[in-house]
Amino acid sequence: MDLALRNCVAVVTGGSSGIGLASASAFLEEGADVAICGRDPARLQAAQADLGSRFGPERVLAACCDVTKADEVRAFADAATSWRGKVDILVNNAGQGRMSTFADTTDDQWREELDLKFFSQIYPVRAFRPALERSRQGAIVAVNSLLAYQPEPYMVCTSAARAGVQSLVKSLAREFAPAIRVNSVVLGLIDSGQWERRFQARENKGQSRDEWIAELAKSKHIPYGRLGLPEEVARAIVFLASPAVGYITGASLEISGGVSRYI
């Protein structure tokens, strides 16, 4: 199947690690040029060097940008749009989850989490919307979590915010049709930078990574017995973003190894 991504320009927020980096790589493999952003300059530079060495440095733009800061997102959008004169695809991937129960979560932590989850969508959508409209095949993919539909009490504010983002995606799909398609992926547990950091912080330091992952998968009742790979998510993101599936909008694709319990 030809995804028709050659000569497209894709923007991936949080493209310096995990799912974002795998998505950038997958877009490049399909012939699209890619602009990525992240906050940590060293991590961003390493990602740019890695992608550039595999696909050609001229095909990758990297810019420091915190997606919760409107002025930084506008500057990134200006740079990405003038780089190739257009942007066709926006993947809103940047972010992380917060582990805390209702009792553990302060007002400031609620505000910080709601800010991250909503404005990591709102600011890039607002900044890139004119370019996506001009593209005539504009597409947005929001990276979201299964927690939106299946909340967990130990991630109470992340779960609530995730549900709100699914609602936002649905509204945008209606409001932006037929100019821009808006879809989401809802993820279970994916073995990325977030889980690597949690592995490093594990209590039982004698436990190997494989043992730790197997125990995690068992405790989460994942039928596939493992976490997902960033590349498995990336392929779904590229598919949803591609002009080849031009009638898909307002959809959400679950990637969870079968862990969901809702219909």
Q: Is 194 in the site for ligand NDP (CB under 6 A)?
A: yes
Interface pick for ligand NDP out of 24, 87, 97, 217 (rule CB under 6 A): 97
| C-beta of residue 148 within 8 angstroms of C-beta of residue 187 | no
Binding-residue total with ligand NDP (CB under 6 A): 30
| C-beta of residue 18 within 8 angstroms of C-beta of residue 230 | yes
Nearer Cβ to ligand NDP (69/134): 69
Task: Pinpoint the alpha helices (H) of the chain.
Answer: 18-29, 41-55, 70-84, 107-135, 156-176, 193-200, 209-219, 230-241
Q: Is 192 in the site for ligand NDP (CB under 6 A)?
A: yes
Q: How many residues does the chain have?
A: 263
Which window, 23-31, 53-61, 94-102, 107-115, contacts ligand NDP (CB under 6 A)? 94-102
Q: Residue 171 Cβ, how far from ligand NDP at the closest point, in Å?
A: 20
Q: Is 67 in the site for ligand NDP (CB under 6 A)?
A: yes
Q: Is 43 in the site for ligand NDP (CB under 6 A)?
A: yes
Q: What is each CA distance from 66 to 73, 103, 141, in whole angstroms?
A: 7, 29, 18
Q: Is 59 in the site for ligand NDP (CB under 6 A)?
A: no
Q: Which of residues 227-256 bind ligand NDP (CB under 6 A)?
A: none
User: 10 Å Cβ neighbour count for 223?
Assistant: 9
Nearer Cβ to ligand NDP (244/251): 251
Hey, what are 170's tokens?
């649905």
Q: At what angle do helices 230-241 and 18-29 cross, to 10 degrees?
A: 50
Q: Is 93 in the site for ligand NDP (CB under 6 A)?
A: yes
Binding region for ligand NDP (CB under 6 A): 13-14, 16-20, 37-40, 43, 65-68, 93-97, 143, 145, 187, 189-190, 192-195
